[in-house]
Amino acid sequence: MLLLGIDPGHGGTNTGTIHGEGANKLVEKDYTLELGRLLYHSIITDMAIHTKVKPFLLRTEDETISYSRRAAQAQELGCQLVLNLHVNAHIDSDLRGLMAFHWPGSHTAATGAQALDAACPKALRRTRNSVFAVGEAEWLRAARSIISKYHCPSILVELGFATNPQDRSYLLSTLGKLRLVQALKVGVLAYLEDTQYV
């Protein structure tokens, strides 16, 4: 049985990125919590995966929780993998697509990230590389600072770019959320098959 931590990024006063207006407004802290809850409920109601994976939500409300506290909570729960859910943003609104990050040398996390990327909805698929080991490059600093806090393998998923209108509309759609949850489950199962937790 794999103990899975689902970590919806940001929360409370740490809103994350905010873009769009009205029904097309995406607030990262709210979006990651909604998707985290959807993933959690999808796992516990899917007998094909629930018999192999026990999920825990590391943030269940709109509250400010440090990443050090989240990491400590994951350790207390005995999590063997953590999925960190985030939404990307960039000054260049043409940038788009899902990106997944893992610790360098973590073969099992890389396997999960690559499977998740392969199952990524077509609407969020990038034309160039979308799976990255968090090395020393400056642009990887934020992902590295989050992943480095966990005692177990972690995959940080930037689900899409809130600054790209196409990504934002797809992320907010019911279909987009369902397909993202399915892709995340594929990544978890690939990780599971590549480890001793089967």
Is residue 176 one of the residues assigned to a domain?
A: yes
CA distances from 153 to 62, 125, 164, 171, 180 (A): 25, 24, 30, 26, 20
pLDDT recorded at residue 194:
86
Count other Cβ atoms within 10 Å, centred on residue 183.
Answer: 22
Is residue 121 one of the residues assigned to a domain?
A: yes
Is residue 136 scored above 80 in pLDDT?
no
> Which spans in the chain are helix H?
28-45, 47-50, 67-77, 107-118, 141-147, 165-172, 174-193
Task: For Cα atoms 76, 82, 88, give the angle at the middle one, nearest 5 degrees.
Answer: 135
pLDDT band at 113 (very low <50, low <70, confident <90, very high): very high
pLDDT recorded at residue 141:
87
| Mean pLDDT across 68-89 | 96
Is residue 171 one of the residues assigned to a domain?
A: yes
Within 8 A by CB and 6+ apart from 54, the residues are: 1, 2, 3, 4
Mind listing the pLDDT tens digit for each residue in 162-197?
999 999 999 999 999 999 999 999 999 999 988 865
Is residue 124 scored above 70 in pLDDT?
yes
Which CATH number do you get for residue 16? 3.40.630.40
Task: For Cα atoms 187, 3, 116, give the angle at the middle one, nearest 5 degrees.
Answer: 5
Is residue 138 scored above 90 in pLDDT?
no
Is residue 49 one of the residues assigned to a domain?
A: yes
Is residue 162 one of the residues assigned to a domain?
A: yes
Is residue 31 scored above 60 in pLDDT?
yes
pLDDT band at 11 (very low <50, low <70, confident <90, very high): very high
Is residue 146 scored above 70 in pLDDT?
yes
How far is Cα 117 from Cα 99, in angstroms, rounded to an integer? 8
Q: How many distinct structural domains can be found in the chain? A: 1
Host domain of residue 145: 2-193
Nearest CA-CA partner of 119 in 159, 146, 161: 159
Is residue 198 one of the residues assigned to a domain?
A: no
pLDDT recorded at residue 107:
84
